[in-house]
């Protein structure tokens, strides 16, 4: 067994899969850039961190249950007169989540409430928060079913694991 295989195996044993998977490319990049040992060590750790963040974000997005992939960058503020981009961007420090405060969008159908809620939820996930999205009718049905099964307390506990519960009333 060569040094590369041995080193790759050691990274895998430490659960540093991204480094193990891409070690040859990382070594080539470090050599091409004539990176110092410290720079190379930082590059390895940063590569692993980025891969783990991407995996976490993907998992949290799947778990959130968003009905569609809406992004704030795609929201058209020109047709929305009651909230500005500046107001939405001010929410992206997520102090309302840290303070356990509610955020409510009220308005007629078709003005972008769901788009904004999903977009903010996506940004919250990217910032490390767990988000759960539910349609109000589906949520009521889930809770009623859980109550009939005698599992309401369990269901409520499951919902409270999320940092943000987005309830869409369509």
Please report the pLDDT score of residue 106 as a whole number: 87
Q: What is the pLDDT of residue 119?
A: 96
pLDDT at 116 over 80: yes
Please state the rounded mean pLDDT for residues 2-10.
92
- Dihedral angle sign, alpha carbons of residues 102, 65, 110, 72: positive
Domains located in the chain, CATH noted = 3-64 (no CATH), 72-168 (3.40.50.300)
Please tell me the distance from the alpha carbon of residue 14 to that of residue 109, in angstroms, as a whole number.
51
At 73-83, the pLDDT tens digits run 999 888 777 88
Judged by DSSP in three states, 1 sits in: coil
> Cβ distance 119 to 71 under 8 Å?
yes
Instruction: Please name the helix (run of DSSP H) or strand (run of DSSP E) that holds residue 129, with its range, or none.
Output: none
Mean pLDDT of the chain: 93
Residue 85 has pLDDT above 80, yes or no: yes
152: left (phi over 0), alpha (psi -120 to 50) or beta: alpha
Query: pLDDT tier at 25 (50, 70, 90 boundaries)?
Result: very high
């Amino acid at each position: 067994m060569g040094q590369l295989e041995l080193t790759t195996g050691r990274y895998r044993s430490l659960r540093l899969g991204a480094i193990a998977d891409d070690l040859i490319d990382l070594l080539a990049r470090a050599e091409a850039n004539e990176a110092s040992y410290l720079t190379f060590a930082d590059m390895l750790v940063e590569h692993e961190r980025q891969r783990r963040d991407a995996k976490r974000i993907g998992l949290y997005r799947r778990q959130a249950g968003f009905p569609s992939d809406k992004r704030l960058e795609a929201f058209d503020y020109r047709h929305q007169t009651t909230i500005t981009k500046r107001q939405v961007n001010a929410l992206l420090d997520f102090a309302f989540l840290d303070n356990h405060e509610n955020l409510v969008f009220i308005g007629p159908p078709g003005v972008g409430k769901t788009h904004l809620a999903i977009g903010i939820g996506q940004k919250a996930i990217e910032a490390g928060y767990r988000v759960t999205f539910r349609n109000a009718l589906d949520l009521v049905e889930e809770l009623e079913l859980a109550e009939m099964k005698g599992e309401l307390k369990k269901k409520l506990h499951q919902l409270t694991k999320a940092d943000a519960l987005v309830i869409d009333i369509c």
